[in-house]
Amino acid sequence: MRIGLALDYTGGFHEGVERVVELEKSGLDIAVVAEAYSYDAVSQLGYLAAKTTTVELASGVLPIYIRTPTLLAMTAAGLDYVSNGRFTLGIGTSGPQVMEGFHGVAFDAPLGRTREVIEICRQVWRRERVQYAGKHYQIPLPADRGTGLGKPLHLINHPVRERIPVHIAALGPKNVELTAEIAEGWQPVFFLPEKASLVWGDALAAGAAKRDPALGPLDVVVGTSLAIGDDVDDRLAWTKPQLGLYIGGMGARGRNFYHNLATRYGFGEVADRIQELYLAGRKQEAINAVPDELARGMSLVGPRGFVAERLAAFAEAGVTTLTVRPLSSDSRESVRFVEELLQMRP
């Protein structure tokens, strides 16, 4: 199992990079930079590429709606170039709250757009003259929709690799099936090892049945929180604000992917209560309603022996890459947590 560090968008990026540089010496495998509606991930990934030499880098994730497919391909090729072939393109759809509320673009056809984006990216990386007549993207733009001057072009530069790995963040059955069919990796969120097969097993199997063997095995990339010690149980509460926000507030009733996921895990009544409280503006009560059982099952928080058991559970559930977010306000403690985990990995 590969172990990585997740750098989020809540601040302290420079300090996070310092931790990556230090942990690179201890064998850290990958660093993932998130993008939501804070600073963009691309500029930070370029900075990280300049500060590191061996650790792999990934976006986690770049939303497909706010960049054209060819721009995504150019960006990935550029980051792969400045990192000497260490970049993985993590993409996803995000959700209508961010796409429509922050970016002002319609959230539509996530499955069809995802497939077409990846097909176009791979054309660009092969330096083919990009010609694509899809349902959602047409390159060059047809004459009746533009000036008629558009001509097929290929990427000027020669990419370091003509096949940059693509990971897709996906939750719903159809999205997960598509990911298992066409992508090098899958980035699920809020992964509960004991329930993962029940929720996603059929979709993964259906996608794998259509998968090109040249893609290799699917890299299952899971993010989780980390705190190791006999006195860290209080850190579990640090994971609950995010769970409360996503289960309760990332969508209206009936249109919240994360609420649906918690329900599929068997926490339907709790998810309903969290959503009810959050949408009523009672955010702290919604956070308090997140059960310890759910938060603990998704995290690596506890004594060393417990964390080792949970790490084995993630591995048994098929996780091949684990990216962690240390629950600590002390940089030295954060590094220690990750170094201990590196020593435990299967």
Give tens-digit pLDDT for 117-172: 999 999 999 999 999 999 999 999 999 899 999 999 999 999 999 999 999 999 99
Span 199-226, mean pLDDT?
98
Q: What does the block give as tokens for 296?
A: 């603990």
Least confident among 3-17, 208-222, 233-247:
3-17
Kindly tell me if the per-residue pLDDT of 19 is higher than 70. Answer: yes
Nearest-CA neighbor of 56 among 14, 27, 34? Answer: 27
For position 11, what pLDDT does the model report?
Answer: 67
Using CA atoms, how far residue 48 sits from 14, 17, 180, 245, 332, in Å, is: 9, 6, 29, 29, 19
Query: In this structure, are residues 40 and 16 in contact, taking their beta carbons and an 8 Å threshold?
Result: no
C-beta neighbour count of 174 within 10 angstroms = 13
Which domains, ranges and CATH numbers included, belong to the chain? Answer: 2-232+299-344 (3.20.20.30), 233-298 (no CATH)
Query: What distance in Å separates the CA atoms of residue 92 and residue 111, rounded to the nearest whole number?
Result: 10
Helix (H) or strand (E) holding 80: helix 69-82
Q: State the chain's mean pLDDT as an integer.
A: 96
pLDDT at 9: 72
Cβ atoms of residues 322 and 185 within 8 Å: no
Under the banding of pLDDT at 50, 70 and 90, the label for residue 254 is confident
29-36 mean pLDDT: 95
The per-type count for the chain, helices as H runs and strands as E runs, is 14, 12
Q: Whole-model pTM?
A: 0.95
The arithmetic mean of pLDDT across residues 105-118, rounded, is 97
- Alpha helices, H only, 210-345: 240-249, 257-262, 268-279, 283-288, 292-297, 304-316, 331-344
The model's confidence at residue 255, banded by pLDDT at 50, 70 and 90, is confident
Residue 229 has pLDDT above 80, yes or no: yes
Are the C-beta atoms of residues 172 and 204 closer than 8 Å to each other? no
At position 161, the amino acid (one-letter code) is: R
